[in-house]
Amino acid sequence: MDKNGWVSIDFLMASLLILLTIPSLVSIIEDRINTVNSVQEISEARVLAENLAEDIEMVYSGGRGCSIVFKLPANVSNKHYKITINSTGVYVSFLGKIGTAHITPMTISNGKYDSYVLLEPNKTYNISNIKDEHDRMKIIIKQI
């Protein structure tokens, strides 16, 4: 009878150890899943920024008169976003996160201002290369 009692206590100790270990493993797994989701969100923003930067570079290298039409998606990872383009890069921001893609330094304009351009989701834009009044190339991004 004494042996049976020890087996029960060993079983209880092992069960207690397992019960204490499982919540910490669940916490670690949950943290890893959240990290993966966060990386996926920022990578989608980065892909959008890279695609837009690639089109801007193509228009710039295509020379005067070259243009491309670019349609923005409605959301990034099911979240609202905004895009800012300036002379150094394309920046896709949402919920405090920013996906970036660098471009060749160039003059970017929306037709009125030459410092930066703000793009809105789910809109279509024309990216074109023109020469300004000083005979320099300028990238114009306008909503169509």
Per-residue pLDDT reduced to its tens digit, 77-107: 888 999 999 989 999 998 888 889 999 999 8
Residue 50, pLDDT score: 96
CB-based contact 137:107 (threshold 8 Å): yes
Radius of gyration of the chain (CA): 27
Of 48, 115, 130, the closest CA to residue 81 belongs to 48
Of 81, 109, 121, the closest CA to residue 97 belongs to 81
Residue 38, pLDDT score: 81
pTM listed for this prediction: 0.75
Question: Which residues, given as ranges, of the chain have pLDDT below 50?
Answer: 1
Of 53, 55, 70, the closest CA to residue 122 belongs to 70
Residue with tokens 């279509």, as numbered in its chain: 124
Residue 103, pLDDT score: 93
**Distance between CA 101 and CA 139 in Å, rounded?**
16
Residue 133, pLDDT score: 80
